[in-house]
Amino acid sequence: MQEIHITIKLFAQYREERFKVEQRKIKKGTSAKDIMDVLGISEHKLPLGVLMVNSKHEKEDYILQEGDTLALFPKVGGG
């Protein structure tokens, strides 16, 4: 089974009891949603606000690639 390396970054309340940044080895073909499920973010009381891969907005069904950086934010705002 092929594995790829990714970096996961979490922000705001998603960091609580998790981490800020972590490198992980995952199965090829894993989606961003799969990662969210594993981390318990899919069930977090704060809904997903923004998902970025390599600094670009993507959707939850994005299939992660070798070297990707996945960033997950709850709904945040300011101004």
Partner 1 sequence: MADKIYRINMNDLSFTIEDVPSEWMGLGGRGLTSTIVAKEVDPQCHPLGPNNKLVFAPGLLSGTSAANSGRNSCGAKSPLTGGIKESNVGGTTAGIMAKLGIKALIIEGLPQDDSTFYHLHVSFEKVEIQQVPELVGKNNFEVLDHMLAKYNKKVAVMSIGRPAEQKMLISNISVKDPKGKLRSHGRGGLGAVMGSKKIKCITVDAEKFNEASANIVDPEKFKEANKVFTKALQENPISGEGLPAFGTNVLVNILNEAGALPTRNFRSGQYDFAENICGETMAENIKARGGSTTHGCHAGCVIQCSQTYNDKDGNYLTSGFEYEMIWAFGANFGIRDLDLIAKIDALMDDLGVDAIETGVTMGLAADAGILAYGDGAKAYEILANDVSNGTPLGRIIGSGCANLGKLYGLVRVPVVKGQSIPAYEPRAVKGQGVAYATSPMGADHTAGYAVATNILNSGGFVDPLKKEGQVALARNLQIATAAVDSTGMCIFVAFPALDDPKCLPALIDMINARFGISLSGDDVLNLGANILKTERAFNIKAGLTSASDRLPEFMNYEPLPPHNLVWDFTNEEIDEFWNF
Point out which residues bind partner 1 (CB under 8 A): 9, 11-13, 15, 20, 46-47, 49-50, 52, 55-57, 71, 73-79
Is the Cβ of residue 25 or residue 56 nearer to partner 1 in the bound state?
Answer: 56
Q: Which residue matches tokens 């990662």?
A: 35
Q: How far is CA 1 from CA 4, 25, 27, 31, 79, in A?
A: 10, 12, 7, 16, 46
Is the Cβ of residue 1 or residue 78 nearer to partner 1 in the bound state?
Answer: 78
| Least spacing, CB of residue 57 vs partner 1, in Å | 7
Q: Are 55 and 73 in contact (CB under 8 A)?
A: no
